[in-house]
Amino acid sequence: MKSAKIFGIVLAGGEGKRLMPLTEDRAKPAVPFGGHYRLVDFALSNLINSGLTQIVVLTQYKSHSLDRHVSQTWRLSGMLNSYIASVPAQQRLGKRWFSGSADAILQSLNLIHDEKPDIIVVVGADHVYRMDFSQMVQAHIDSGAEATVAAIRQPIELANQFGVIEVADDDPTHITAFLEKPNDPVGLADAPHEVLASMGNYVFNADALIDAVLRDGEKTDSSHDMGGDIVPDFVERGTAGVYDLRRNDVPGSTDRDRYYWRDVGTMESFFEAHQDLISALPVFNLYNEEWPIFTQQLNSPPAKFVRDAHGALGTTIDSIVSLGSVISGAHLERSVVGPWAKIGSGAKVVDAILFERAVIEENARVERAVLDKDVIVEAGATVGVDHELDRARGFVVTDTGITVVGKGMRVTA
């Protein structure tokens, strides 16, 4: 019996309004993360590490940065018909954009028809996690389901933040209900304090997915969303299964990070996910050599930590510093620094995320803040210290006190 042919679809058209101003000039999957990665790198790395070699990335919103990153970074050999291709909205069904994630697949059915796969893996492009999709695909085939939803266990009190999956008492792999952000969830039989939350990753029989999106496309009352419309359709027909992430064993993972998954759709979750990277025993370990997270290999010198011009020493504690960056006589703590950033003498940077080529000049202070690409904080200036001042200067300050400075802005003293 021949092995199943598998095709990967990455849904990367997300606008990411809740991450503004980081998404003012780029699609959400193109937002930098963890120093020199982009959010889309995690989905693509998982698919590649899982053995998928034919993958399309469906883009739409402000996609130039994302398209460029995919084309420059994710090149596979065409000799064996292996590829990762960025595919914008093609308007094959009329002069309109994607109206939802299911509509994105509907408008891209030509890609599926060209490859004629048996199985289609559909994943989001803006979550941080590791997952071996080959194990999920095998579980899907063994189950006989037409659709399988990846799920992660979450505390029942957080159920109203997720799409929640209810399963049969006699078969915990069979979905009986799919509830969007329920206020009165039912806990799991083996863990009443937990629910199964959808991870936004799916495995489908190709013919079943094609049929589902075609039928959905004819509905006038549909939001044309994978989680909101397509999965409930399979559940209603009794052909949907669930794959608990606890069944997934990623090579090189540890008990501390084996079931890590973050939806970084808000500034708070984006900030907290960075904090998960930097401890000595990180909650999410970027240094797993058996399941690497791939990204663009920068032609850059190593990071450098030096005394300042007066010979004063700096300190760097619990931080990630990317290639090309120079820390000169400054204090850096619990922070993630992107490529080619500069932090000057006497500066203090604590609980911060600095994107590419951010500059913190002498004696400036940055605390609990996110600075986009090319931001300059002038000598003696502050960010995140005085929230009223930050707001007066037009910066975003979240309810939890995270200050966000948009691309290319100059912060004066």
Query: β-strands 119-124, 6-12: how paired?
Result: parallel
Q: Is 28 annotated as a binding residue?
A: no
Q: Which residues contact 228 (CB under 8 A, 6 or more apart)?
A: 100, 163, 180
Whose CA is closest to 12, among 60, 68, 62, 73? 60
Whose CA is closest to 130, among 276, 1, 304, 284? 284
Q: Which helix (H) or strand (E) holds 9?
A: strand 6-12
The tokens of 40 are what? 């889309």
Q: Is 198 annotated as a binding residue?
A: yes
Q: Is 180 annotated as a binding residue?
A: yes
Other beta carbons within 10 angstroms of residue 80's beta carbon come to 9
> DSSP assignment, residue 2?
P
Q: Is 146 annotated as a binding residue?
A: no
Radius of gyration, alpha carbons of the chain? 22
Cβ–Cβ under 8 Å, residues 176 and 189: no
Q: Which helix (H) or strand (E) holds 42?
A: helix 40-49
Interatomic CA distance for residues 169 and 149, integer angstroms: 18
The binding site consists of 163, 180-181, 198
The binding site for alpha-D-glucose 1-phosphate consists of 163, 180-181, 198
